[in-house]
C-alpha cells in the first residue's frame, strides 16, 4: 500500500473523530481495507470491573450480548488472558495465543463470534492511558486467509492515529452528551439568548421564543437582538460592548408598546472558549453575551418597600396595573368609591406619579 493511500486512511481517521457517529463509518472503511467480516474498537475502564465502550460494524442488537456478558470471556481483554499476549508485540492473532482447537471450541468463539463469521481476529492494542485499555480488532471467518505481513504493518502504522482519534471521539461524544443536558437545563431558565460579539442571536431557549412572539419591546431584526423603541435600542447596543474589567454586568429595562410591561435585561459577557458547552450548542466559540429577559412585575412587598405604600394601597396599585377602574376596585375590596379615590391620591403622592397614566408608566418601565 503506497504512502498516499495510507495518508488517505489517516485523514479518514481524524475526520471520523470529529463527526458524530463518524467512528461507525470509519470501521466500515477499515473492514474493507482488512478484508474483514467485521471490525470493532473496544475500550474497557476500571481495573477489576470492566465497563466496555464499543463501536463495531456489528449492529447494536448483536453487540449487546458482548457488552453484557461475552466480554468477560474475551482473551484479548487485560485481566482475562493478558499473560498470553507475546511480549514486545502489540499486534497478534488470538489464534496464535491459544491452540486452534481450544480457541474454536471456546464458549466465546462458539456461542458468540462464530455466529458472525468472526473466527480469526487480528488485534492491536492502543494506549488509552489511565485505567483504560483499548484495542482494535479485525475479524475474518474461519475459512478466511491469514493476515499478511503487509496488513500487520499497516495496522502498526495506523495504530497511533487510531489511538488519538479514539481519544478525540470519546471526548467529543461526552461533550455532546453534556450539551444535551445543558440544552435541557437551558430551557428551564428565564427567557435567555446567546449572542455573538455583534449581537447576533446564536441560540435562544423556548421562553425567549415565546417572548419574541408576543407584543414585547424585544425583537430579532436581521439576526440581531433589537429593542423596538429606538432610544432603548441605542442603550441595548451600548450594553452589548466589550466589558470594562471589573465592571458589573449591565442591566437595563426596555419599555413595551402601549401599556404592555417592559422587559428587564441582564447582560453577562461570556467567552465560548471558556465554556465548551456553549461551543457545542452554538457551534461557534464566538459567544460574547448571555442575555436573560424577565418581565418586571411589581409585588405588594416591593411596592411597600420602595414607595412606602400601605398594604391596602399596594393591593389597589396591583389592581390598577391589571386594568381595574375605581368602581371595580371598590366592589372587589367591598369598600366605597370615595375610599378608593382617597387611597389613589395617597398612592400618587407617595410614588410621585401625576395620575393614573403616570403611575402605569412608572411601574411598567416606560
Q: Could you state, in chain order, the average pLDDT of each consecutive group of 10 residues for the chain (366 residues)?
A: 85 83 90 94 64 79 85 76 52 71 87 91 77 84 87 90 82 67 71 84 85 77 88 87 69 62 77 55 63 76 83 88 83 89 92 85 62
Burial 306-317 (b: 16+ CB within 10 A, else e): ebebeebbbbbb
From CA 200, how far away is CA 219, in angstroms rounded? 12
Q: In the prediction, which pLDDT does 83 show?
A: 47
Q: In the prediction, which pLDDT does 87 show?
A: 44
Residue 329: closest CA among 346, 315, 348? 315
Q: In the prediction, which pLDDT does 49 show?
A: 45
Is the pTM value of this prediction over 0.85? Answer: no
Q: In the prediction, which pLDDT does 279 show?
A: 55
Count of residues making up the chain: 366
Q: In the prediction, which pLDDT does 366 show?
A: 44
E strands, the chain, in order: 38-45, 51-56, 91-93, 120-129, 132-140, 191-196, 201-204, 218-221, 224-227, 251-254, 263-269, 287-294
From CA 262, how far away is CA 9, in angstroms rounded? 58
Q: In the prediction, which pLDDT does 182 show?
A: 64
All cell numbers assigned to 117: 463469521
Pairing of strands 287-294, 224-227: unpaired
Output the CATH code of domain 300-363.
1.10.10.10
Write down the CATH superfamily of domain 3-182: Transcription factor LuxR-like, autoinducer-binding domain (3.30.450.80)
From CA 292, how far away is CA 290, in angstroms rounded? 7
Cα 247–chain centre separation = 29
List C-alpha distances in Å: 315 to 119, 171, 360, 362.
81, 55, 14, 16
Q: Outline which parts of the chain fall under CATH 1.10.10.10.
A: 300-363
What lies within 8 Å, CB to CB, of 97 at 6+ separation is 75, 81, 84, 85, 86
What lies within 8 Å, CB to CB, of 95 at 6+ separation is 103, 120, 121
Q: Which residues pair with 121 in a beta bridge?
A: 139
Residue 162: exposure state from Cβ atoms within 10 A (0-12, 13-18, ≥19): buried
CA-based torsion, 122, 128, 134, 136: positive or negative: negative
All cell numbers assigned to 18: 470529529
CATH level 3 topology of 189-294 = Beta-Lactamase (3.30.450)
Q: In the prediction, which pLDDT does 95 show?
A: 67
Amino acid at each position: 500500500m503506497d504512502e498516499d493511500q495510507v495518508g488517505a486512511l489517516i485523514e479518514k481517521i481524524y475526520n471520523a473523530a470529529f463527526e458524530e457517529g463518524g467512528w461507525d463509518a470509519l470501521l466500515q472503511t477499515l473492514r474493507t481495507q482488512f478484508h474483514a467480516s467485521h471490525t470493532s474498537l473496544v475500550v474497557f475502564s476500571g481495573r477489576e470491573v470492566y465497563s466496555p465502550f464499543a463501536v463495531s460494524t456489528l449492529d447494536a442488537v448483536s453487540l449487546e450480548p458482548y457488552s453484557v456478558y461475552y466480554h468477560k470471556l474475551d482473551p484479548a481483554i487485560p485481566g482475562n488472558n493478558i499473560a498470553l499476549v507475546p511480549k514486545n508485540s502489540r499486534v497478534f492473532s488470538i489464534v496464535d495465543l491459544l491452540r486452534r482447537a481450544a480457541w474454536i471450541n471456546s464458549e466465546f468463539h462458539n456461542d458468540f463470534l462464530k455466529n458472525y463469521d468472526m473466527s480469526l481476529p487480528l488485534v492491536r492494542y492502543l494506549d488509552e492511558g489511565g485505567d483504560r485499555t483499548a484495542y482494535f480488532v479485525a475479524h475474518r471467518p474461519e475459512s478466511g486467509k491469514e493476515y499478511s505481513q503487509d496488513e500487520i504493518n499497516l495496522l502498526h502504522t495506523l495504530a497511533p492515529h487510531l489511538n488519538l482519534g479514539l481519544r478525540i471521539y470519546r471526548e467529543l461524544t461526552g461533550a455532546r452528551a453534556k450539551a444535551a443536558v445543558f440544552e435541557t437545563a437551558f430551557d428551564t431558565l428565564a427567557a435567555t439568548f446567546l449572542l455573538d460579539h455583534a449581537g447576533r442571536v446564536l441560540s435562544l431557549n423556548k421562553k425567549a421564543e415565546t417572548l419574541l412572539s408576543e407584543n414585547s419591546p424585544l425583537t430579532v431584526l436581521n439576526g440581531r437582538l433589537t429593542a423596538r423603541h429606538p432610544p432603548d435600542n441605542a442603550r441595548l447596543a451600548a450594553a452589548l460592548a466589550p466589558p470594562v474589567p471589573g465592571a458589573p454586568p449591565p442591566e437595563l429595562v426596555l419599555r413595551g408598546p402601549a401599556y404592555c410591561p417592559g422587559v428587564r435585561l441582564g447582560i453577562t459577557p461570556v467567552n465560548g472558549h471558556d465554556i465548551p458547552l456553549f461551543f457545542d450548542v452554538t457551534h461557534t466559540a464566538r459567544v460574547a453575551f448571555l442575555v436573560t429577559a424577565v418581565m418586571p412585575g411589581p409585588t405588594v412587598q416591593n411596592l411597600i418597600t420602595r414607595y412606602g405604600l400601605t398594604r391596602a394601597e399596594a393591593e389597589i396599585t396591583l389592581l390598577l396595573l391589571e386594568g381595574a377602574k375605581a368602581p371595580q376596585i371598590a366592589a372587589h375590596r367591598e369598600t366605597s368609591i370615595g375610599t378608593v379615590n382617597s387611597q389613589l391620591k395617597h398612592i400618587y403622592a407617595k410614588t410621585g406619579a401625576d395620575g393614573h397614566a403616570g403611575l402605569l408608566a412608572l411601574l411598567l418601565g416606560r
